[in-house]
């Protein structure tokens, strides 16, 4: 009896503890169930949000795509675009300008100074989503930041970067500067100096713009002749001048105009100032090209020099590699080529036509020439001498059999390609682009309806 009485409180205590434990376990199960339910709810919420976002993106994309199709099918706004211009084919420089021009002002395309530099040193423009639209306040800011003639330098275009505009006409003018020998600077200046007073004012410089406008308008009219015929009303009407994105009827103070003639356009351009501008531009482009390979060092390798000379040629990939391998075999340990040597050689290339004449007069029956003869011809054409090392490097590149004689006709042909600087219809292509180009050439070789590459 006493044992039972002693066991009863113990049992009650154990029972009581078991109920507490049971309740605790029940609470834990409840907590876990609630947590699981909460996670499920959150997962469902995120799933719904994700589905809604994906659906919105999908229908948004479809809406943009349909609008793009509608916009593409919608007749363009400008008069010139309202008609078929199948007869008007853009030349290579026009296409390249449109490709690199990154800004637009009042419906006309412009390059920035940086665009121009890239167009003569790179094969493709910088990636961009769309062209930047400029306003009057942007042009006012550009004018204030444009340096005067007295502050011109061989890094002016790089300093201005994208805070300036260059028209298509000026683009053609700048391209011509890059290939002008120094003897041609005076001729270029005299073409602008219509009154012969040794000074060029703004109106004289804009003659180039007027000539281009007239020529392009005539070209557009000839292309449109017979495509769009206005209804015959029996009355003579003056035809409205046609405009396009390259040339508008309005005149804008571009970076060059402000640099040459000041913000008010009252200054005059002297020959020495004009000559300095041309020399600075040539030097700036050559510096950019040289620095691409020098990586901050004072010299580039002979192999890099060869790459620069051959980068804008018609050579196929195997021919291109052959020239480089030949140079490596003949100059395994080069001494390098400085910027001054590189610049002197490129300035010599601007006299390539004179060099070709000198070679035809100097040699008979198109015989190969020696390094001594090459030196003499260069001095005759430029009045300066190239360094013996750079001439030796040129011979190592272009001398086929290594006999010290250069086939100057082949050299001139390749160097003439170099002068085009990417303004060619075909360039050296490798990899996938080269493969596609090769396939297209083969498929269209006998098809007269497909234009050649």
| DSSP one-letter code for 369 | B
**Cα–Cα distance measured from residue 393 to residue 299, given in angstroms and rounded to the nearest whole number:** 14
Q: What percentage of the chain has pLDDT greater than the value 90? A: 40
- Which of 88-97, 141-150, 433-442 shows the lowest mean pLDDT across its residues? 433-442
Please, which pLDDT band fits residue 326 given cuts at 50, 70 and 90?
very high
pLDDT at residue 160, rounded to an integer: 96
pLDDT tens digits for range 155-196: 999 999 999 999 999 999 999 999 899 888 999 899 888 888
pLDDT at residue 65, rounded to an integer: 53
pLDDT tens digits for range 7-44: 444 444 444 444 444 554 454 445 444 444 455 455 55
Highest-confidence segment of 144-148, 246-250, 359-363, 443-447: 144-148
Within 8 A by CB and 6+ apart from 289, the residues are: 121, 308
pLDDT at residue 258, rounded to an integer: 97
More confident residue, 77 or 272: 272
pLDDT tens digits for range 139-149: 999 999 999 99
Residue with tokens 């060092």: 297
Mean pLDDT throughout 245-252? Answer: 73
Q: Does the pLDDT of residue 207 top 90, yes or no? A: no
**How big is the CA angle at 427 (ends 170 and 430), to the nearest 5 degrees?**
140
Q: Does the pLDDT of residue 3 top 60, yes or no? A: no
Please, which pLDDT band fits residue 450 given cuts at 50, 70 and 90?
very low
Residue 338, SS3 per DSSP:
strand
**Cα–Cα distance measured from residue 423 to residue 175, given in angstroms and rounded to the nearest whole number:** 10
Compute the residue count for the chain.
453
Q: Does the pLDDT of residue 56 top 90, yes or no? A: no
Please, which pLDDT band fits residue 211 given cuts at 50, 70 and 90?
confident
Alpha-carbon torsion angle 188, 191, 197, 199, nearest 10: -50
More confident residue, 350 or 52: 350
Please, which pLDDT band fits residue 154 given cuts at 50, 70 and 90?
very high
Please, which pLDDT band fits residue 416 given cuts at 50, 70 and 90?
confident
Mean pLDDT throughout 419-430? Answer: 53
331, 353 in Cβ contact below 8 A? no
**Cα–Cα distance measured from residue 322 to residue 309, given in angstroms and rounded to the nearest whole number:** 14
Q: What is the CA radius of gyration of the chain?
A: 36
| DSSP one-letter code for 103 | E
Residue 247, SS3 per DSSP:
strand
Which pair of structure tokens corresponds to residue 227? 């495509």
Name the packing angle between helices 371-382 and 388-398 (round to 10°): 120
Residue 225: which H helix or E strand, with range?
none
**How far apart, in Å, are the Cα atoms of 97 and each of 62, 255, 276, 392, 416?**
33, 17, 25, 37, 21
pLDDT at residue 358, rounded to an integer: 83
Please, which pLDDT band fits residue 356 given cuts at 50, 70 and 90?
confident
pLDDT at residue 80, rounded to an integer: 39
| DSSP one-letter code for 249 | S
Burial class (CB in 10 A: 0-12, 13-18, 19+), 387: middle
Residue with tokens 């046609």: 242
pLDDT at residue 142, rounded to an integer: 96
Taking Cα atoms as reference points, which of 193, 350, 213 lies closest to residue 281?
A: 350
Q: What percentage of the chain has pLDDT greater than the value 70? A: 65
Residue 270: which H helix or E strand, with range?
strand 269-270
**How far apart, in Å, are the Cα atoms of 372 and each of 96, 200, 388?**
40, 43, 10
Say how many C-beta atoms besides its own lie within 10 A of residue 258's C-beta. Answer: 23
Q: Does the pLDDT of residue 82 top 50, yes or no? A: no
Mean pLDDT throughout 249-273? Answer: 92
pLDDT at residue 58, rounded to an integer: 61
Within 8 A by CB and 6+ apart from 275, the residues are: 182, 185, 186, 189
Ramachandran assignment for 83, one of left (phi > 0), alpha (psi -120 to 50 degrees), beta (any other): beta
Mean pLDDT score of the chain: 76
């Amino acid at each position: 009896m006493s044992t039972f009485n002693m066991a009863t409180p113990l049992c009650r205590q154990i029972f009581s503890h078991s109920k507490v434990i049971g309740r605790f376990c029940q609470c834990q199960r409840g907590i876990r169930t609630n947590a699981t339910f909460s996670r499920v709810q959150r997962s469902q919420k995120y799933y719904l949000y994700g589905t809604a976002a994906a659906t919105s993106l999908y229908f948004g994309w479809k809406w943009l795509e349909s609008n793009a199709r509608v916009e593409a099918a919608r007749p363009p706004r400008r008069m010139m675009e309202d008609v078929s211009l199948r007869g008007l084919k853009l030349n290579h420089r026009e296409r390249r300008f449109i490709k690199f021009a990154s800004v637009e002002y009042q419906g006309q395309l412009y390059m920035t100074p940086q665009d121009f530099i890239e167009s003569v040193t790179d094969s493709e423009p910088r990636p961009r989503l769309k062209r930047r639209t400029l306003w009057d306040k942007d042009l006012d800011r550009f004018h204030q930041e444009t340096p005067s003639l007295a502050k011109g330098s061989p890094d002016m275009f790089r300093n201005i970067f994208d805070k300036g505009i260059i028209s298509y006409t000026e683009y053609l003018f700048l391209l011509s500067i890059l290939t002008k020998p120094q003897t041609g600077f005076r001729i270029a200046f005299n073409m602008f100096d219509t009154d012969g007073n040794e000074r060029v004012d703004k109106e004289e410089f804009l003659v180039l713009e007027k000539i281009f406008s007239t020529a392009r308008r005539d070209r557009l009219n000839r292309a449109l002749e017979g495509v769009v015929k206005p209804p015959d009303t029996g009355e003579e009407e003056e035809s409205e001048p046609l405009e396009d994105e390259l040339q508008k009827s309005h005149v804008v103070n571009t970076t060059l105009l402000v640099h040459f003639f000041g913000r008010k356009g009252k200054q005059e351009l002297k020959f020495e100032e004009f000559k300095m501008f041309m020399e600075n531009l040539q030097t700036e482009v050559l510096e950019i090209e040289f620095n691409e390979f020098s990586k901050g060092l004072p010299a580039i390798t002979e192999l890099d020099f060869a790459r620069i000379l051959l980068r804008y040629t018609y050579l196929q990939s195997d021919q291109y590699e052959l020239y480089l391998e030949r140079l490596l075999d003949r100059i395994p340990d080069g001494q390098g080529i400085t910027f001054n040597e590189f610049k002197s050689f490129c300035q010599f290339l601007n006299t390539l036509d004179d060099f070709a004449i000198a070679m035809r007069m100097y040699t008979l029956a198109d015989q190969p020439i020696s390094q001594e003869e090459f030196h003499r011809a260069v001095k005759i054409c430029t009045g300066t001498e190239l360094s013996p090392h750079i001439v030796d490097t040129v011979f190592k590149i272009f001398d086929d059999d290594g006999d010290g004689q250069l086939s100057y006709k082949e050299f001139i042909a390749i160097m003439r390609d170099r002068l085009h600087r990417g303004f060619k219809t075909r360039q050296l292509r490798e990899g996938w682009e080269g493969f596609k180009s090769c396939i297209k050439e083969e498929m269209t070789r006998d098809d007269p309806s497909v234009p050649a590459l």
